[in-house]
Amino acid sequence: MITLIAGTRPNFMKIAPIRRVLDARKLPVRLVHTGQHFDEQMSDVFFRDLGIPAPDVVLKTGGGTHAEQTAAVLVGVEKDLLAHRPRAILVVGDVTSTLSAALAATKLQIPVIHVEAGLRSRDWTMPEEVNRILTDQLSDLLLTPSRDALPNLKAEGIPDERVIFVGNVMIDSLHRSRKSETDALARLSLERQGFALVTLHRPANVDSLDALTATLSAVEAIAKRLPVLFPIHPRTTARIDSLGLRPRLDSIANLKPVAPLGYSDFVTLMANAKVIATDSGGIQEESTALGVPCLTMREGTERPITVSEGTNVIVGLDVGKISHEVDEILAGRGKGGRIPEGWDGRAAERIVDAVERFLAGTPKPKADGPRA
């Protein structure tokens, strides 16, 4: 049996296609939802939209500080692994649940398979950078979404035989969702190619008064040029209210704040947006796959392939740069791109191929062979 670990909405998008292929091949599987995203808007609706069977267990680990959440996932996952003893666990992405589950399994000498291994931002102020580096060090099999991940892992001492390029499994879910567009445009009174879609939630952009004030000014720069739809992440909403910036948000003309959206609705909106502005790594990838211009409101990215090959431009919170890029897009001169290798909707098949070879002994788990 393989135990799949998921805790947040980006995790669900990666787990869903893997689970479908495992089920199709009749491989025993158990799904543990850590509960890191625990409300209906951030969790349950994604299970419905992605067609994921109900998890075998939902742990109560959401909320609290990073340390509290890490500890809660570590304890909860360890109990489940002791009770069910899988042959391996599979973790995805770079969230707290990813690292905590990998650590719990490693302590129990249960092999760890990491999907989306090798991505690096070189920014240690990001919790995700810490999570992804430590998870890769703990993992027995590292499955990468893009070729540029291998040099990162090699530089950190990971043996080549433990690393396999499989492509981007998030794009598998994107392809599936694009087959049936929802009525989100009509419900939200939006015109195709007539709006910007904005998502912002990272601590560097929303956790302090200065940062969040600058973030809202950046959003306003876009709203001065075309209507903006702003699905607001719960932690962003909490910071807006706790920092007293609700009046500032309400003062931005041409801005439509809405609650978080389900996956199917969000994909429909991404595909029909004129421009996407975000601090999300996954949305940088999805916009490239959709061919939609993306402005990343960070100073760097762990997904540089979206810049070198895709539609992504790094703009930070620079109002002048954001204004220029939006003007270029509206004038038909926005950055073009191409779809990277392995972003073809079949990554989950390659992932399960690699998992089956690993379970058959190639490569051997670290506990059975030399470590890096």
The DSSP secondary structure of 7-37, one letter per residue, reads -SHHHHHHHHHHHHHHHHTT--EEEEE--SS
Q: Which of 298, 300, 304, 301 is nearest to 316 (CA)?
A: 298
pLDDT tens digits, residue range 243-265? 999 999 999 999 999 999 999 99
Element at 5 (helix H, strand E): strand 2-6
What are the Cα distances from residue 308, in Å, to 45, 101, 155, 284, 305?
34, 32, 21, 12, 5
CATH topology of domain 2-167+344-368: Rossmann fold (3.40.50)
pLDDT of residue 163: 98
**pLDDT mean over 30-39:** 80
pLDDT of residue 41: 52
Q: Which CATH architecture best describes the domain 181-330?
A: 3-Layer(aba) Sandwich (3.40)
**CB-based burial label for 340 (10 Å; 0-12, 13-18, 19+):** buried
Give the residue extent of every domain in the chain.
2-167+344-368, 181-330
Residues near 98 by beta carbon (within 8 Å), at least 6 away in sequence: 5, 7, 11, 91, 92, 114, 131, 132, 135
pLDDT of residue 104: 98
pTM: 0.93
Judge if 2-167+344-368 and 181-330 fold alike in CATH terms: yes
Task: State the Cα angle at 354 between 349 and 360, rounded to 5°.
Answer: 130
pLDDT tens digits, residue range 51-108? 888 899 999 777 788 899 999 999 999 999 999 999 999 999 999 999 999 999 999 9
Catalytic machinery residues: 201
